[in-house]
Each structure stands twice: as structure tokens, then as C-alpha cells.
Amino acid sequence: GENVEQHPSTLSVQEGDSAVIKCTYSDSASNYFPWYKQELGKRPQLIIDIRSNVGEKKDQRIAVTLNKTAKHFSLHITETQPEDSAVYFCAASRAAGNKLTFGGGTRVLVKP
Amino acid sequence: NAGVTQTPKFQVLKTGQSMTLQCAQDMNHEYMSWYRQDPGMGLRLIHYSVGAGITDQGEVPNGYNVSRSTTEDFPLRLLSAAPSQTSVYFCASRASTGGNQPQHFGDGTRLSIL
């Protein structure tokens, strides 16, 4: 089955700096890669996703890049703010079916 | 439109007890899933369903049963609770049409097994 690895497990940045989280996946048939943000005690919330026919996607301060050849994808947060502090999860799945495999998460702390 | 609703929000059980975690969605989504999230870890898939009457095992199915008699409901049953099942359980749903659709999560059920 699919295996998703996520690095780093914790990330501390100064407010205004950029944060980058990287994920690798094992199943070459995976073609959907969402990113979720989870605040303490809350549900995971989708913040951005990318499909395999796209190499990069941007939404304001958040961007995701995908390298299908190398089987890795990354989340980039620019101009970080204290409210960006949370745990971020990457995930991967195939088009058909419902099996979404998650990475282990990255705890991001933005220091004011 | 309530989205994905999970009940209860909190539950404490004794080892060996059984219980059912409820999950309902009002978005007419075909796909529903149950995940567990242990402290400091990601979400692991327990069971999932691609439509009424169809269920399948995920990554960590042992000790859990599911059924999907309607599109709206996807209950998760703990047959004989064990301390290793202490976790936060999330139910999720998504539409099956239009390519890959995002998962919508419920608020979770915090379950403690003593």
C-alpha cells in the first residue's frame, strides 16, 4: 500500500519568514495530494491540494509543488504569521477509491 | 447544512465494553471513512465505504466493525474496547464524482479506554 513520509516533524520559524514542509510517497499511481492544517483540538481542515497533472499550485501565501518523477511534494508558506502555528499533514491517494494515506504531521510554530 | 456530524464528542469506557461511534453527513457524499489519530501522529485509516452496502478495511481495522446501510450514516463499532484503542476518532466524507474531491472531516470523538 501507499506510504507517505513527512519532514520535518517540528518546524520553528520567525514571523515573516517562510516555512517549507516536504513529503515523499511510495505509490506511483497516487495522483491526488492534499494538505491539511489542524489546530489544537480541532478537525483537520483542507488548505490546498494538487493533482498529478499540475506541477505547482498557489493560493495567496500558500503554495504546493509536486515532482511526480521523484515522488515528492512540498508545502510552502510565505510571510508566516502567528495564526499559521498548527500541525500540518500531507496526504496522497489514487483517483479511484477512498484510501487517503497521511504523513505523520509537522508541528509548525511561528514565533512573533 | 451541518456537514459531517460525529457523536459523542467524548467517551470513557472500561476495558471490554462495546460501543458505537456515530457519524452522519448531509452532503449526499458516496465516500465515507473512519480514521484514528493517536497523540503526535497522523491519521490512520480504519475502515472506509464507497457507497451504501459497501465497506472495506483500511490500515488498522482490527477491533472495529462498520456498516453502511444508508448514504448518510457510517457508524463505527468497538467490539471489546482495549486501552490501545484510546484515541481521537475522525469520520470523513467526500463526493465521488468530478475527479478527486476533498475530504470533509467531523469534529472528532475523544475516546478513553480505562
B107 in A contact zone (CB under 8 Å): yes
Given a cut of 80, whether residue A95 has pLDDT beyond it is no
Taking an 8 Å cut-off on Cβ atoms, the answer to whether B44 and A43 are in contact is no
Given a cut of 70, whether residue A41 has pLDDT beyond it is yes
Mean pLDDT of the region A29-43:
93
* pLDDT band of B103, cuts 50, 70, 90: confident
A43 in B contact zone (CB under 8 Å): yes
Taking an 8 Å cut-off on Cβ atoms, the answer to whether B40 and A43 are in contact is no
Mean pLDDT of the region A93-107:
82
Give the mutation candidate from A36, A98, A101, A106 for the B interface (greatest B CB count, under 10 A): A98
* pLDDT band of A96, cuts 50, 70, 90: low
Give the mutation candidate from A100, A102, A107 for the B interface (greatest B CB count, under 10 A): A100
Task: Determine the residue type at B113.
Answer: I
Report chain B's mean pLDDT, rounded to a whole number. 93
CA-CA-CA-CA dihedral for B10, B35, B40, B78, to nearest 10: 50
Given a cut of 80, whether residue A9 has pLDDT beyond it is yes
Report chain A's mean pLDDT, rounded to a whole number. 93
The per-residue pLDDT for range B57-99, each reduced to its tens digit, is 999 999 999 999 999 999 999 999 999 999 999 999 988 765 6
Please give the pLDDT value at position A26: 95
Find the largest Cα–Cα distance for chain A: 43
| Residue A94 or A13, more confident | A13
**Residue A94 exposed, middle or buried by CB count within 10 Å (0-12, 13-18, 19+):** middle
Taking an 8 Å cut-off on Cβ atoms, the answer to whether A34 and B105 are in contact is no
Instruction: Give me the DSSP letters along A15-65.
Output: TTS-EEEEEEE--TT--EEEEEEE-TTS--EEEEEEETT-SEEEETTEEEE
Q: Are strands A19-25 and A4-7 parallel, antiparallel or unpaired?
A: antiparallel
The per-residue pLDDT for range A53-73, each reduced to its tens digit, is 778 999 999 999 999 999 999
